[in-house]
Amino acid sequence: MTQRPKILLLIPHLGDGGAEQVTALLARHLSEKKYEMHLGLMTQPDAGAEPLPAGVTVHGLNAHRVRNGGLRLLRLVRRLRPEVILSGMAHLNFLVLLLRPLFPRRTRIVVRQNGTVSSSLGFGDLPAYTVLLYRVLYRHADRVICQSRAMADDVRLEIGAACKQLVVLRNPVDVDAIRVAKGAMNPWTGPGPHLLAVGRLSREKGFDLLLRALAAVRKRFPDADLLIAGDGPEANALRVERHALGLDEAVRFLGNVAAPAAYFAGASLFVLPSRHEGLPNALLEAAAGGLPIVATPASGGVIDLVSGQPGVWVTREISAGALSESMSAALGTIRPGERFPHAWIEEFRIERAIAGYETLIDTVLTERQR
């Protein structure tokens, strides 16, 4: 029997974030007939409650932080000797590429870029030396996966990655599961309209802009309320902002939510208020659920994907004022409970996205054999 090539998926930890969700979907859906599947978790001892197929071997390295897990990762790779490593988050990508000279010689490395480099660097939420790490280390990757052509162009311009290295692959989205789950819960009370936002409570996600925009929207729609699913370092500051704006009764923070689609049932509108993004899974899941969408032009990928699409309002700029304008325009246009087909989400379906990943893996394996 021909031995299947070993594929090692790497992620800091599993959870509700976009990169974590993509890695979990890859672990569940990449072909076990073609590949021997392994999942490495840098900061967890095991997969916890994450449902994974029995054929996926989980390696919990349980390091305190990603950067502290280098020796454990090196030991794992030398023992396992995977043909391909697929790493799914920028700071972990740096570690993997830094260790590459110590890996078995024929190990191939594919890294997934989960954010727009220029926006992240310009926003100031990364150390100044990060661009140097990108430029020095990313050239040693066999492939760099980007989520959109705009992101790939940005990587090429910012860090000089060769065109041969860059490949655009769509995030896998379990469209059918989302459409089943979207009627699971209806937490909304009052006449509405009901707004929903999902994401990490951090400055780049723009929830402070959304709160200020909601205060303005309620002048025209006084019963408008908002649910925010997610947690993060800005949680306390956002609660203070909510109180200062007089929105204590209008805004609820749900904390981390494993399946935001369960809250889609009664939502009138999904809002993406981000200052910068890659191509957020929250947006894709909202589209799969058919929700009307208001989004900021947070990245070229977002703009290219949704501009001009029915049922989507893209703000003229990234500001509270522009958000309130687009939210009011959307709420003044849509009918209660209206949903949109968002045909563009079909290219993100599990089957199509996974086929793209398998084609890339097979190509890299062929190059390895040569």
pLDDT digits (tens, 9 = 90+) for 75-115: 999 999 999 999 989 899 999 999 999 999 999 999 999 88
Q: Which two tokens stand for residue 190?
A: 């009052």
Q: Which two tokens stand for residue 23?
A: 């890695």
User: What average pLDDT does the chain have?
Assistant: 92
pLDDT at 125: 64
Please check the confidence at residue 5 and state whether its pLDDT lies above 80: yes
Please check the confidence at residue 186 and state whether its pLDDT lies above 80: no
pLDDT at 92: 96
pLDDT at 103: 97
Q: What is the mean pLDDT of residues 195-205?
A: 95
Please check the confidence at residue 121 and state whether its pLDDT lies above 90: no
Contacts with 283 (C-beta within 8 Å, 6 or more apart), sequence order? 270, 272, 277, 293, 295, 302, 306
Q: Which two tokens stand for residue 104?
A: 């078995």
Q: What is the mean pLDDT of residues 9-15?
A: 93
Element (H, E) at 84: strand 84-87
Give the integer Cα–Cα distance in Å for 78 and 283.
39
Ordered by where they begin, the domains of the chain are 6-172+349-369 (3.40.50.2000), 175-347 (3.40.50.2000)
Q: What is the pLDDT of residues 40-58, one digit of tens each?
A: 999 999 988 888 999 999 9
Nearest to 44, CA basis, from 16, 15, 70, 23: 15
If phi over 0 gives left and psi between -120 and 50 gives alpha, with beta otherwise, what is residue 317? beta
Give the integer Cα–Cα distance in Å for 260 and 285.
8
Q: What is the mean pLDDT of residues 269-290?
A: 94
pLDDT at 341: 95
Please check the confidence at residue 124 and state whether its pLDDT lies above 70: no
Give the integer Cα–Cα distance in Å for 255 and 187.
14
For residue 53, the 8-state DSSP code is -
β-bridge partners, 59: 40
Q: What is the mean pLDDT of residues 201-214?
A: 96
Nearest to 194, CA basis, from 100, 279, 305, 268: 268
Q: What is the mean pLDDT of residues 329-355?
A: 95
In terms of pLDDT, which residue wins out, 123 or 11? 11
The pTM of this model reads 0.91
Please check the confidence at residue 167 and state whether its pLDDT lies above 70: yes
pLDDT at 182: 59
Q: What is the mean pLDDT of residues 134-140?
A: 91
Please check the confidence at residue 340 and state whether its pLDDT lies above 70: yes
